[in-house]
Amino acid sequence: MTKLSRYVPALAFAGLVSIAAPACAAQAYYGPPRGAVYARDIERRAYDRGYREGLEEGRNDARHDRRFSYERHDEYRDADNGYHRGDGDREFYRRSYRAGFQSGYNEAFNRYARRDRDWRR
């Protein structure tokens, strides 16, 4: 047996390990680093999504003469519409979403409730 044939299995094993290691590491990557800019982007996206959905629910409640209550809506309680696992801390997303939902709900409910009251006079 030659010296080279003794090392072929070890070289083949080392080659397979060097190919498999980057593939395993790539599977554990969930997105860009959690820097301040990235966190602000997630916060803005969550707030905007909550705001839009709050506008819709506030408008619907006012038009159907329901009492003012954003807490009754599943979207507000769950507060994870649009959340992705790669976004990081779910509670951070929920706080931003709820803040947007409250703001949108308040704006729409007050706008449409007032408009409907004025129209009925």
**Residue 28 falls inside a structural domain:** no
**Residue 8 falls inside a structural domain:** no
More confidently predicted of 19 and 75: 75
**Residue 21 falls inside a structural domain:** no
**Residue 15 falls inside a structural domain:** no
Evaluate if residue 96 carries a pLDDT over 90.
Answer: yes
Count how many domains the chain has.
1
For the segment 33-54, the average pLDDT, to the nearest whole number, is: 87
* Domain encompassing residue 84: 33-120
Q: Please choose, from the candidates 37, 53, 49, 48, the residue with its C-alpha nearest in 3D space to the C-alpha of residue 82.
A: 49
The Cα–Cα gap between 17 and 24 comes to 10
The three-state secondary structure class of 83 is: coil
Query: Torsion over CA of 80, 85, 86 and 87, rounded to 10 degrees?
Result: 20
**Residue 77 falls inside a structural domain:** yes
**Residue 64 falls inside a structural domain:** yes
**Residue 13 falls inside a structural domain:** no
Give the model's confidence band at 6: pLDDT under 50 very low, under 70 low, under 90 confident, else very high.
low
- How many CB atoms are closer than 10 A to CB 78? 12
